[in-house]
């Protein structure tokens, strides 16, 4: 369930709490991505100590490895990875469309070949939810069709039709022990987005995701879509913008009423040595320039003996220097990526805390 705590008067931003029988997460929230059952370089204990309240895992990858059978034997992904907070799973659809070169969309589902061993897999709305049941996630997504940005209007129309057909088949599997989200598609076509959103709201999902954004359109365009789409969605249900984004994008999307985010940026950019910091640790400002990034592998940090992150709760980031992290990146020590990942995931979680405080204080 979702408890709306406060709505901003200045924008559509709101603070709330995502709740299941077991546990809760404060929104707006950011979900680090544990694609294959681990956030790259981090353990669940690391995520807990960073203060993460919810993570995302990808059904497509889980189906392929370790597979539904092993997940069932393990007693679900929470037990498997030692994580007792919330898990959201996608439907697997997005990866089918982005990773699998050979795929066929049929009215019943989508047929594809595993990118690993070429095995043929037929994913239906029901099968996706069965896989998510094996994973045991707290928040589950219905199977949708997410066409590439280059698609024609006709193709987007068909994608919305099928998305709605699959949503109506999926909603029957709503159960009180998890939240089931419908996904709004429609690319940048306002009429398609609105009708898709209306039909999904009619079906009464536990929450709504806005998919098919951040796939090639400008972010201004995406904000427009959020703006008119979110207005259709019920205030009492959580809203999730999939796959976004940079810190300033998250702030803007929050203003449009979005509660949940996931993105590979903090972890992927950590692997490339790009570190995120707040420009000013002492206040919650989210004005232009509120954060900066540094390329830690750059030679200018080779002699920078200031702490990696003076304000971090991770002792290593306070004690060790930028020069040392620069050295670790240059010598390809695996510790380099771990430290950078800890820094960036902490940054994103702190960003959400700042956002929540800003909304609570009426500043967003």
Catalytic residue ranges: 90, 262
Q: Which residues bind its own copies (CB under 8 A)?
A: 36-38, 40-45, 61, 65-66, 70, 73-74, 80-82, 302-303, 305, 315-316, 319-321, 323-324, 327-328, 330-331, 333-335, 337-339
Residue appearing with tokens 């920078």: 304
User: How many Å from the N-terminal Cα to the C-terminal Cα in the chain?
Assistant: 24
CB 179 within 8 A of CB 140: yes
Written as six digits, the tokens of 224 are: 């427009």
CB of 316 to its own copies, least distance (A): 5
Q: 169 or 333: whose CB is closer to its own copies?
A: 333
CB of 40 to its own copies, least distance (A): 6
Q: 322 or 356: whose CB is closer to its own copies?
A: 322
How far apart are alpha carbons 295 and 65 in whole angstroms? Answer: 33
CB of 296 to its own copies, least distance (A): 14
Q: 9 or 69: whose CB is closer to its own copies?
A: 69
CB 102 within 8 A of CB 111: no
Q: 8 or 344: whose CB is closer to its own copies?
A: 344
CB of 155 to its own copies, least distance (A): 33
CB of 80 to its own copies, least distance (A): 5
CB of 24 to its own copies, least distance (A): 22
Written as six digits, the tokens of 106 are: 């049929």
How far apart are alpha carbons 8 and 353 in whole angstroms? Answer: 16
> Among 230, 229, 236, which Cα is nearest to 204's?
236
262: part of which helix (H) or strand (E)? strand 260-262
How far apart are alpha carbons 352 and 209 in whole angstroms? Answer: 18
Q: 218 or 331: whose CB is closer to its own copies?
A: 331
How far apart are alpha carbons 47 and 55 in whole angstroms? Answer: 9
How far apart are alpha carbons 258 and 157 in whole angstroms? Answer: 24
How far apart are alpha carbons 109 and 241 in whole angstroms? Answer: 23
Contacts of 303 (CB under 8 A, 6+ apart): 323
> Among 333, 344, 284, which Cα is nearest to 308's?
344
Taking CA 340 as the corner, what is the angle to CA 337 and CA 341, rounded to the nearest 5 degrees? 80
How far apart are alpha carbons 205 and 238 in whole angstroms? Answer: 10
Q: 73 or 292: whose CB is closer to its own copies?
A: 73
CB 25 within 8 A of CB 54: yes
CB 133 within 8 A of CB 141: no
Rg over CA atoms, the chain: 20
CB of 96 to its own copies, least distance (A): 18
């Amino acid at each position: 369930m979702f408890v709306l705590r406060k709505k901003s008067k200045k924008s559509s931003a709101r603070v709330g709490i995502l709740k299941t029988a077991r546990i809760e997460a404060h929104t707006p929230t950011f979900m680090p991505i544990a694609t294959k059952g681990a956030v790259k370089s981090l353990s669940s204990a690391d995520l807990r100590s960073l203060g993460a309240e919810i993570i995302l895992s990808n059904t497509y990858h889980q189906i392929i490895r370790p597979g539904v059978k092993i997940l069932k034997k393990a007693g679900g992904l929470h037990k498997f990875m030692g994580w007792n907070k919330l898990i959201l799973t996608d439907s697997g659809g997005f990866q089918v469309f982005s990773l699998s070169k050979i795929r066929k969309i049929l009215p019943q589902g989508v047929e594809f070949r595993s990118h690993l061993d070429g095995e043929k897999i037929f994913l239906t709305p029901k099968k996706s939810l069965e896989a998510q049941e094996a994973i045991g996630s707290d928040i589950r997504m219905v199977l949708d069709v997410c066409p590439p940005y280059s698609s024609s209007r006709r193709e987007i129309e068909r994608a919305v039709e099928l998305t709605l057909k699959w949503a109506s088949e999926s909603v029957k599997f709503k159960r009180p022990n998890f939240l089931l989200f419908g996904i709004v598609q429609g690319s940048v076509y306002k009429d398609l987005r609105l009708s898709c959103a209306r039909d999904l709201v009619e079906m009464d999902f536990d929450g709504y995701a806005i998919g098919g954004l951040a796939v090639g359109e400008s972010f201004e365009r995406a904000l427009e879509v959020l703006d008119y789409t979110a207005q259709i969605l019920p205030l009492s249900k959580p809203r999730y913008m999939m796959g976004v984004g940079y810190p300033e994008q998250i702030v803007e999307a929050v203003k449009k009423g979005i509660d949940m985010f996931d993105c590979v940026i903090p972890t992927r950019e950590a692997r490339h040595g790009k570190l995120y910091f707040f420009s000013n640790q002492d206040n919650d400002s989210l004005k232009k320039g509120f954060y900066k990034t540094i390329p830690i592998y750059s030679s200018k940090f080779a002699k920078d003996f200031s702490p990696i992150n003076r304000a971090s709760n991770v002792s290593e980031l306070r004690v060790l220097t930028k020069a040392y992290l620069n050295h670790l990146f240059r010598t390809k020590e695996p510790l380099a990526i771990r430290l950078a990942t800890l820094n960036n995931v902490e940054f994103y979680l702190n960003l959400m805390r700042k956002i929540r405080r800003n909304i609570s204080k009426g500043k967003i």
